Amino acid sequence: MSATATGIFHDSYASELRLCHTRAEKRRLVLTLALLSALPWALDGYWLGVVNGIGIAAIGAVGLNLLCGFSGQISLGHAGFMAVGAFTSALLSTRLGLPAPLGIGAAVLLSAALGALVGLPALRVEGVYLAIATLASQQIIEFIVCRWSWLTQGRGFLDVPRLGFLGDHVSRLTFERSWYWLILGVATLALLGARNLLRSALGRSLMAVRDHDVAAATIGIDVARAKLTAFALSSGYAGLAGALCAQYSEIVSWERFTLDVSVQYLGMIIVGGLGSLAGSVYGAVFIGLLPPLLSELATLASSGGSSWTAQLPALQLGAFGAAIVLFLLFEPRGLARLWQRALDYFGSWPFRY
Amino acid sequence: MTHHRTLHLPIALSALAALLCACTPQRNEHDIVIGVLADLTGPTADVGRPYHEGMLAAIDDLNAHGGIRRRHIQALSEDYGYKVPTAEEKYKKYVQASVVAVQGWGTGDSEALRRKVAGDELPFMSASYAEVLTDPEQSPYNFVVAATYSDQMRIALDQIAAADPQAQVAVFHHDSPFGNAPIADGKQWIASRGYQLGYQEYAMKAGATDYVASLQRAQQQGARYLIVQNVASPAATLARDIAAQKLGMKIVCLNWCSDELFVQLAGPAAEGTWMVQPFAPPSVPQPGHEPLKQYCAAKGIDFESAGVHFVQGWYTLQVMAGGLAKLLADGRELSGKNLRGALETMGPVDTGGVIGPIRFSAASHRGATAAGVYVVEHGKLVERARALTPRS
């Protein structure tokens, strides 16, 4: 066993700005990339579909974590902004015939603008009151996309044409795989963007506001601007996730963006780890895998004769609740912290520390 | 930094992969595999369960009689709890299992999967009779076996206009794509037929314990007739509320509350309710009920209490089986695309009077336009008119 480094020391600005600081981090990054590239060949279409769902959720969770974990604001309206993104991207590509990437870009901008607007109450209220204000935004957006018949021309849903890759029609055999690469690429960019943002002055100001807004104001941070930026950023990420979701599932309807989904995203960042980008991804993986794995387990258990599948929805809800409660009790900093602790444990093994 | 710490992730992932491989079901290569999406636990489970049982019963019966040209049907069936994303997830599983067709359930999931089944070339039938699913231009792989919700609405409006030309009509509907499906078409029908009927819609919030507030608004509208586009349990709550408030409104149920469950749950409040129902219920015997009766007798099921939705599930599957039989008789390869062709060219399916002959063509996937009208008398569904179509 090699000696454990006692700390990370930088002798240049360039070294401080590197994405990976230690050799182990680099090795893990390479390994993760290798695993991610192998995934489409290791999994069948169904499981790849689950992974694609997780990828989209991870983008949304990163957005929510920027707001809740890094800026100390709370939002129960995340799914509402996803709806804005989904409907905007679908409308732009079907009615105006805009290419999908442009439609998605516009969806991100519009959701971000709307997010900043909804963030206005955050200048005056915080905590539970802010939660209620964002809850109201969720309900209002849900109401509008559900009832405004112009959006869907009275049909209740919007069709999105299947995305072609380089002019090719994607068949069902390659559909999930093509989307996997697309989502992986976008999610990686989104993560890198967030990571870089957090190292910038803006990112630091968000965290300063989270830790103590009065202190932040006294050192010259514009608290109002920081809070609104946090809301805009978070909603922009939500809009991106929503737009991807629309293009991927080829249909947009309000049913996919209800309050339950907002709560699920909060669950993701709590389980994954508030204030950790990697945690957002872990949380998305955890919450995304929970229902299909439970359903497989229930099917396995039911083949013995008992009927677990009938109780499945209750089981899934129960497991979701139990996961959140257990994490809050035993590891409030989530899976990201658990992973860090595991690394530390093995790093100094056989010594305690 | 150590070497072995990097090993945990791959070990965990390979363990997971091994677990997933172990979960993949085994099946006989000779079987015809179809996917079934059912609501057994969600908000429409009260009618979803008998429909699903009817479907599985029909498969069981077909297999017991040697299958379709000696090939058995294997149904992969999963509950999706009326949640669209779950339906999409299960659907992917079926695609992976190489199904040749899918039997869905609700309007939300049928509409959401419409483009997917078109892209994947898998014929899709469901218990949703939304208008959009009948048009091969918009929904090339969806097939609708019964009169659409819009046609049922038109028939209901025809009946009301004949009984009371000046009546105010309130439409109470499930707050979902299913509930909204016939609303706009009903309004257009009144205008195009020149009826003098008043028409207003009221959304029924899921899980509500009473509808008194909405009923008050309907009373202010002066509503004499309530058309209900919802499943049996909330419709029964509505009927009880009307009886308790002595509002004297007549309920006209469309398809999904026109059943024995509504009568049972609403009790005396159900008396006099009109029901627009494309499928003949067990209480109005038809020759087409015989195979179901025999099956139920053999399995110890009470056919009367199995109800009209059991019949509905049974015959929806029979229609798909008809397409499969034609496909195999023609000696063509078993694929979704060929099955679609077979369904379009197989000619009318005779259901022995349970529902008018069902016929599809390349130009229309509207299987039927007629529905029966029943009235509840002494806790039973009694036929009022047979095989009505919207007045042209």
Domain extent listing, chain B? 32-147+286-361, 149-277+373-388
Question: For residue A169, what pLDDT is reported?
Answer: 63
pLDDT tens for each residue of B145-169: 999 999 999 999 999 999 999 999 9
Q: Which of residues 321-350 of A touch B (CB under 8 A)?
A: 342-343, 346-347, 349
Domain extent listing, chain A? 43-348
Question: For residue B311, what pLDDT is reported?
Answer: 93
Interface test with A, best of B44, B93, B109, B110 (most A CBs within 10 A): B93
A251–B112 CB contact, under 8 Å? yes
Q: Is the pTM of this model over 0.80?
A: yes
Whether the per-residue pLDDT at A5 is higher than 70: the answer is: no
Q: Which of residues 63-122 of A touch B (CB under 8 A)?
A: none
Question: For residue A292, what pLDDT is reported?
Answer: 86
**Residues from chain B contacting residue A93 (CB–CB below 8 Å):** none
CATH 1.20.272 fits A43-348, yes or no: no
Residue percentage of chain B with pLDDT more than 90: 50
Q: Which of residues 53-72 of A touch B (CB under 8 A)?
A: 53
Whether the per-residue pLDDT at A131 is higher than 90: the answer is: yes
Q: Read off the tokens for A239.
A: 């809009």
When pLDDT is cut at 50, 70 and 90, the band that residue A191 belongs to is very high
pLDDT tens for each residue of A81-93: 999 999 999 999 8
Mean pLDDT of B85-106: 89
pLDDT tens for each residue of B99-109: 999 999 988 88
**Residues from chain A contacting residue B40 (CB–CB below 8 Å):** 310
**Residues from chain A contacting residue B206 (CB–CB below 8 Å):** none
> In terms of CA atoms, which chain B residue is nearest residue A308?
B79
Query: Around Cβ B286, how many Cβ atoms within 10 Å?
Result: 17
Q: Are B154 and B140 in contact (CB under 8 A)?
A: no
Whether the per-residue pLDDT at B11 is higher than 80: the answer is: no
Backbone angles phi and psi of B274, in degrees to 5: -90, 145
> In terms of CA atoms, which chain A residue is nearest residue B181?
A155
Measured CA to CA, the distance from residue B98 to residue B13 in angstroms comes to 26
Helix (H) or strand (E) holding B171: strand B168-174
When pLDDT is cut at 50, 70 and 90, the band that residue B2 belongs to is very low
> In terms of CA atoms, which chain A residue is nearest residue B38?
A310
Average pLDDT of chain A is 88
Whether the per-residue pLDDT at B23 is higher than 50: the answer is: no
Question: For residue A168, what pLDDT is reported?
Answer: 62
**Residues from chain B contacting residue A32 (CB–CB below 8 Å):** 9
Whether the per-residue pLDDT at B25 is higher than 50: the answer is: no
pLDDT tens for each residue of B349-363: 888 888 888 889 999
Question: For residue B6, what pLDDT is reported?
Answer: 45
Backbone angles phi and psi of A96, in degrees to 5: -95, -5
HSE (side-chain half, CA atoms, 13 Å) at A193: 14
In CATH, which of 2.170.270.10, 2.60.40.10, 3.20.20.210, 3.40.50.2300 is domain B32-147+286-361?
A: 3.40.50.2300
CA-closest candidate to residue A292, choices B17, B90, B15, B26: B90
Question: For residue B5, what pLDDT is reported?
Answer: 45
CA-closest candidate to residue B275, choices B325, B324, B309, B322: B309
CA-closest candidate to residue A134, choices A253, A266, A270: A266
CA-closest candidate to residue A252, choices A163, A161, A178: A161
Measured CA to CA, the distance from residue B321 to residue A215 in angstroms comes to 72
Question: For residue B206, what pLDDT is reported?
Answer: 78
Q: Are B196 and B208 in contact (CB under 8 A)?
A: no
Question: For residue A17, what pLDDT is reported?
Answer: 79
When pLDDT is cut at 50, 70 and 90, the band that residue B16 belongs to is low
Question: For residue B347, what pLDDT is reported?
Answer: 84
- Nearest-by-Cβ selection for B81 from A32, A176, A313: A313
Fold of B149-277+373-388: Rossmann fold (3.40.50)
CA-closest candidate to residue A60, choices A273, A319, A233: A233
Average pLDDT of chain B is 87
Question: For residue A347, what pLDDT is reported?
Answer: 81
Lowest-pLDDT range, B18-32, B110-124, B219-233? Answer: B18-32
Measured CA to CA, the distance from residue B100 to residue A325 in angstroms comes to 43
The reply to whether A153 touches chain B by the CB within 8 Å rule is no
pLDDT tens for each residue of A58-109: 999 999 999 999 999 999 999 999 999 999 999 998 888 888 889 999 999 9
Q: Read off the tokens for A53.
A: 């769902």
**Dihedral, CA of residue B315, residue B71, residue A173 and residue A254, to nearest 10:** 20
Q: Which residue has the higher pLDDT, B367 or A169?
A: B367
> Which residues contact residue B325 at a Cβ distance below 8 angstroms, ignoring those fewer than 6 apart?
B68, B69, B346
Q: What is the ipTM of this complex?
A: 0.74
pLDDT tens for each residue of B177-202: 888 889 999 999 999 999 999 999 99
The reply to whether A291 touches chain B by the CB within 8 Å rule is yes
pLDDT tens for each residue of A242-261: 999 999 888 888 888 999 99
Residue with tokens 């009694």: B382
When pLDDT is cut at 50, 70 and 90, the band that residue B95 belongs to is confident
> In terms of CA atoms, which chain A residue is nearest residue B116?
A250
Measured CA to CA, the distance from residue A90 to residue A256 in angstroms comes to 14
B20–A47 CB contact, under 8 Å? yes
pLDDT tens for each residue of A148-189: 888 887 777 788 877 766 556 666 667 888 889 999 999 999
Question: For residue B50, what pLDDT is reported?
Answer: 92
Backbone angles phi and psi of B358, in degrees to 5: -100, 125
Output DSSP code: residue B349: B
Q: Are A66 and A233 in contact (CB under 8 A)?
A: yes
Measured CA to CA, the distance from residue A295 to residue A308 in angstroms comes to 9
